[in-house]
Amino acid sequence: MNYKIDAQGKKLGRVCSEAASIIMGKNSTSFAKNNVAEATVEISNVNMADISAEKKIKDKYVTFTGFRGGLNTETLAALIARRGMGEVFRRAVYRMLPNNKLRDKRMKNLTIKE
């Protein structure tokens, strides 16, 4: 099944939680936690999503390299400038999926159009 979500004028979290639910297969009658659903999701118009200026300043993405002094923080605005809005949606959906072996396989069913 192919699903299309239009992000124009919608909040980031609402769109990503809907996409994560579909990717996991929760809307299917044959839902099983241990299987990858055959549903693909396409999110379009991500550049026109409703993200407030305050959220762009306050939200921080933290990564750790594993070495001493390797804690890096980046604001949402800096991430958008560096990688684009598609990366913000990709990271949000990725973190909404369960942390197991199927996460990367499920993420292959997500396409984002800017």
Cα R_g (the chain), whole angstroms? 15
- Which ranges of the chain would DSSP assign to H, the alpha helix? 12-24, 53-58, 76-83, 85-96, 103-107
* From the candidate CATH numbers 3.40.1190.20, 1.10.150.120, 3.40.50.300, 3.90.1180.10, the one assigned to the domain spanning 2-50+84-112: 3.90.1180.10
Q: What is the pLDDT along the chain (114 residues), one digit of tens a residue?
A: 899 999 999 999 999 999 999 999 999 999 999 999 999 999 999 999 999 999 999 999 999 999 999 999 999 999 999 999 999 999 999 999 999 999 999 999 999 998
pTM of the model: 0.92
Give the residue extent of every domain in the chain: 2-50+84-112
